[in-house]
């Protein structure tokens, strides 16, 4: 049988969609070197607090953090059926002097769970600037098109006009809420700390001969060496699994937000008002050569739908952790946590690419407005007639009758909306005919939309962009597939 990489299943999230940095963050190399880093930090803190650990042992541990024999570790795990102990053994094999003090006093979750929290923290730090990049690019789009009138829709039926920029701010509002939610979770994320088998720190109390203050100090030192300001005050064997549910929930909400936005873009693409990037060599259909499908937005919706449904896994896992812990969380977490972040990473990466290449077609937008603007202008016409002495109720009835006649022409005969022609021909409206061009100016129908965009960009968008400005990369985001 061939050993080709094409002979085995791999996740499309890792081969087609997610970024290199997010894939590395959930790689075996990141995980196992993080384990080794934690063993080194634990030994360092134990030495500082008086345990018999030498500088030579610490140097040996530190020098071999990246010297992982993955094949040997895999063989060890087959024998031991225990991933942490397999890596204790392979780490000890390349650290003969330090081998006896690796994992001293610790339980598996002192290493595995803390490493998972480091990975989650780093994943959030990868994702948040990308989300802010989408906010920045969409904010620039909103500013550019804040005056461009477009049909608003309620129930997918033409409603009052809005502007292209104002509509973009609706998407931005949701993205900003996502950033606030995810960044809060990032800020609240704690280290499990060095808590021992059931969270009582009993083994460490023995190591330090009953000195509880040294046990507390060990927890604090390792926590801070690992880059966390604080650890969870109490745990069972694991950190609270509800934390996973909270993290994945925030990503699922992001999935829902981006799904809604890209669905809107797909609808607008169907109306030919907005188009996503389309490469010169891109093929829209194998049969219909003219097609320019919104395939990037469709991809985002597809992956976002998957992400939105992942949240049930950590919720269920958190709900069935018996007493201090059970191991039925392990396999599920291996799948769910990585997939959630890879999916979230891929949708913001694709969204950034879409936003950088969005095309707006003002003439199509104008033509679509013209089809229904006469109906929308009726209230303005009634008000204008009243101002020149007309009776509001009489005017309303005349407009109602003419509107129904025009609607019938559109729906039954397939002709253009001729309501204005009917108004012009009716002597009743003669006093305001010279005002019709102004009454039908689309810019007079958008209300405060441009000003709302200005205010929103200043008060809501710019602060988010400023938080991540040194980390945002938005120029020419390229998708390989």
Whole-angstrom distance, CA of residue 374 vs CA of residue 440: 7
Q: Which letter does DSSP use for residue 261 in this model? A: H
List 4, 155, 233, 286, catalytic entry: 155
Residues in Cβ contact with 213 at an 8 Å cutoff, skipping those fewer than 6 apart? none
> In the chain, what is the straight-line distance between the N-terminal and C-terminal CA atoms, in Å?
29
Residue owning tokens 């604090």: 220
User: Residue 315, Cβ neighbours under 10 Å: how many?
Assistant: 16
Query: Is 231 a residue of the active site?
Result: no
SS3 231: strand
In 311-427, which ranges are continuous DSSP H helix?
A: 312-319, 330-356, 362-376, 378-387, 392-413, 419-425
Whether 422 and 409 have beta carbons less than 8 Å apart is answered as no
- The residues facing 150 across adjacent strands are 162
Active site residue 438: no
Selection from 472, 471, 459, 457 nearest residue 172 by Cα: 457
Residue 106 sits at φ, ψ, to 5 deg, of: -90, 160
What phi and psi values does residue 161 have, to the nearest 5 degrees?
A: -70, 150
Q: Is 162 exposed, middle or buried (0-12, 13-18, 19+ CB in 10 A)?
A: buried
Nearest CA among 237, 117, 251 for reference residue 179 = 251
| Residue listed under structure tokens 């934690």 | 38
CB within 8 A of 297, min separation 6: which ones? 262, 263, 265, 266, 269, 276, 354
| Cα–Cα distance for residue pair 51/55, rounded to 1 Å | 12
> Residue 27 has what DSSP assignment?
S
Core vs surface per residue 231-252: b (16+ CB within 10 A) or e: bbeebbbbbbbebbbbbbbbbb
Look up residue 4 and give its DSSP letter: -
Residue 256: Cβ within 10 Å count: 15
User: What is 158-219 written as a DSSP string?
Assistant: EEEEEEHHHHHHHHHHHHHHHHHHHHHHHHH--B--S--SSSS-HHHHHHTTT-HHHHHHHH
- Residue 72 phi, psi (nearest 5): -65, -40
Is there a contact between 162 and 145 (Cβ–Cβ < 8 Å)? no
Q: Which of 82, 285, 319, 330 is catalytic?
A: 285
Known catalytic residues are 155, 285
């Amino acid at each position: 049988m061939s050993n080709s990489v094409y002979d085995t299943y791999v996740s499309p999230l890792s081969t087609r969609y997610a970024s290199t940095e997010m894939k590395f963050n959930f790689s075996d190399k990141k995980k196992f070197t993080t384990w080794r880093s934690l063993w080194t930090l634990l030994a360092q803190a134990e030495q500082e607090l008086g345990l018999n650990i030498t500088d030579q042992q610490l140097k040996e541990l530190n020098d071999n953090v990246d010297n992982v024999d993955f094949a040997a570790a895999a063989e060890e795990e087959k024998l031991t059926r225990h991933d942490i102990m397999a890596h204790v053994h392979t780490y000890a094999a390349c650290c003969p002097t330090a081998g006896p003090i690796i994992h001293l006093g610790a339980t598996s979750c002192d290493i595995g769970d803390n490493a998972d929290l480091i990975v989650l923290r780093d994943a959030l730090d990868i994702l948040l600037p990308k989300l802010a990049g989408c906010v920045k690019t969409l904010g620039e789009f909103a500013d550019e098109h804040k005056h461009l009138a477009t049909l608003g829709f309620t129930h997918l039926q033409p409603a009052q006009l809005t502007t292209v920029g104002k509509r973009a701010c609706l998407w931005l509002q949701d993205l900003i809420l996502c950033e606030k939610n995810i960044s809060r979770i990032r800020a609240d994320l704690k280290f499990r700390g060095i808590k021992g088998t059931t969270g009582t720190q009993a083994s460490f109390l023995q190591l330090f001969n009953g000195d509880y203050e040294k046990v507390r100090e060990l927890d604090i030192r390792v926590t801070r060496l690992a880059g966390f300001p604080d650890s969870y005050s109490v745990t069972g064997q694991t950190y609270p699994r509800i934390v996973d549910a909270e993290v994945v929930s925030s990503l699922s909400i992001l999935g829902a937000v981006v799904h809604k936005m890209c669905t809107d873009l797909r609808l607008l693409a169907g109306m030919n008002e907005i188009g996503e990037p389309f490469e010169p060599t891109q093929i829209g259909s194998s049969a219909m050569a003219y097609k320019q499908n919104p395939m990037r937005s469709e991809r985002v919706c597809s992956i976002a739908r998957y992400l939105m449904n992942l949240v049930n896994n950590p919720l269920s896992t958190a709900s069935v952790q018996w007493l201090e812990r059970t191991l039925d969380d392990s396999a599920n977490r291996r799948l769910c946590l990585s997939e959630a972040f890879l999916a979230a990473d891929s949708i913001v990466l694709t969204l950034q690419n879409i936003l950088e290449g969005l095309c707006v077609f003002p003439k199509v937008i104008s033509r679509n407005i013209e089809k229904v603007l006469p109906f929308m202008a009726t209230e303005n016409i009634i008000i204008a007639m009243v101002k020149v002495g007309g009776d509001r109720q009489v005017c309303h009835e005349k407009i109602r009758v003419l509107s129904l006649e025009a609607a019938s022409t559109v729906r039954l005969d397939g002709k253009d909306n001729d309501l204005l022609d009917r108004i012009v021909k009716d002597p009743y409206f003669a006093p305001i005919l010279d005002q019709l061009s102004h009454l039908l100016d689309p810019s007079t129908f958008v209300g405060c939309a441009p000003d709302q965009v200005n205010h929103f960009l200043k008060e809501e968008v710019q602060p988010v962009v400023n938080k991540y400005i040194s980390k945002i990369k938005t120029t020419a985001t390229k998708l390989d597939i």
